[in-house]
C-alpha cells in the first residue's frame, strides 16, 4: 500500500519496531517498501497476505497529494508475478493492461524498483531483504546495524 507518511505506518501496522521506524524515517519518502504485520482490525481485501501489509511512501508530489486526499491506496507492484517490475507508467500499463483501473504517471524519476524489506519476524528474527532495488543493503545496514538485516529468504 502507498501511504502519505510515517504516521500512517502506526495506523496500519500491528507493531512498529524501532528498526522499522528508523528505516521509515530515513528512507521515506522514497524507494523502500517495508512489510510489517498488519493491524488485526484492518478489514482490507489485499489478497493472500498472511496477515502482513507492505507499505511505502512514494517520493512523488502528485502521488503524495493524492494520498493525502484519499488515504492509503492499495497498488500493484507494476508487474505480473515472476516478471521484472515496470519502472515507467507506460511499461506498467503494458505489463498490467486491463488488470488495473488506473495508472498514475508522475513522469517517473527512477529506473530502479524499490527495495523490499520483510520486518514481520521482528523482534526475534532479523529483517530480510526480499528484493534489492534502489536502496542498497549497505545503506539499510547503516541505519539498523549489520546484525539486524539478512539478504534473501531467512
Give the 3-state secondary structure of residue 78.
coil
Whole-number Å distance between alpha carbons of 58 and 154: 27
Q: Which pairs with CB-CB distance under 8 Å and at least 24 residues apart come from 128-133?
A: 128/152, 128/153, 128/154, 130/35, 133/31
Q: Locate the domains of the chain by residue range.
A: 6-151
Cell of 44: 482490507
C-beta of residue 3 within 8 angstroms of C-beta of residue 67: yes
Judge residue 72's burial from the number of C-beta atoms within 10 Å of its C-beta, 0-12 exposed, 13-18 middle, 19 or more buried: middle
pTM: 0.84
Say how many CA atoms lie within 13 Å of 45 toward its Cβ: 0
Choose among 32, 29, 43: nearest CA to 117: 32
Can you give the pLDDT of all 154 residues of the chain as single tens digits? 999 999 999 999 999 999 999 999 999 999 999 999 988 776 665 556 668 899 999 998 988 999 999 999 887 667 777 787 777 788 888 888 888 888 777 665 556 888 999 999 999 999 999 999 999 999 999 999 999 998 875 4
Q: Let me know: does 33 contact 119? Beta carbons within 8 Å.
A: no
Q: What's domain 6-151's architecture?
A: Alpha-Beta Complex (3.90)
Phi, psi dihedral angles at 99 (to 5 degrees): -75, -15
In whole angstroms, give the CA distance from residue 80 to residue 145.
33
Is residue 29 within 8 Å of 64, Cβ to Cβ?
Answer: yes
Amino acid at each position: 500500500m502507498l501511504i502519505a507518511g510515517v504516521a500512517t505506518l502506526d495506523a496500519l501496522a500491528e507493531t512498529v519496531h524501532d528498526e522499522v521506524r528508523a528505516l521509515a524515517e530515513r528512507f521515506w519518502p522514497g524507494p523502500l517498501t517495508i512489510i510489517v504485520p498488519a493491524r488485526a482490525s484492518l478489514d482490507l481485501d489485499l489478497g493472500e497476505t498472511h496477515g502482513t501489509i507492505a507499505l511505502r511512501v512514494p517520493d512523488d508530489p502528485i502521488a503524495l497529494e493524492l494520498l493525502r486526499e484519499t488515504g492509503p491506496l492499495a497498488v500493484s507492484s507494476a508487474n505480473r508475478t515472476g516478471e521484472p517490475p515496470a519502472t515507467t507508467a507506460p511499461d506498467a500499463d503494458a505489463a498490467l493492461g486491463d488488470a488495473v483501473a488506473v495508472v498514475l504517471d508522475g513522469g517517473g524519476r527512477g529506473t530502479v524498483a524499490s527495495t523490499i524489506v520483510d520486518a514481520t519476524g521482528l523482534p526475534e528474527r532479523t529483517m530480510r531483504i526480499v528484493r534489492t532495488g534502489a536502496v542498497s543493503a549497505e545503506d539499510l545496514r547503516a541505519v539498523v546495524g549489520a546484525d539486524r538485516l539478512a539478504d534473501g529468504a531467512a
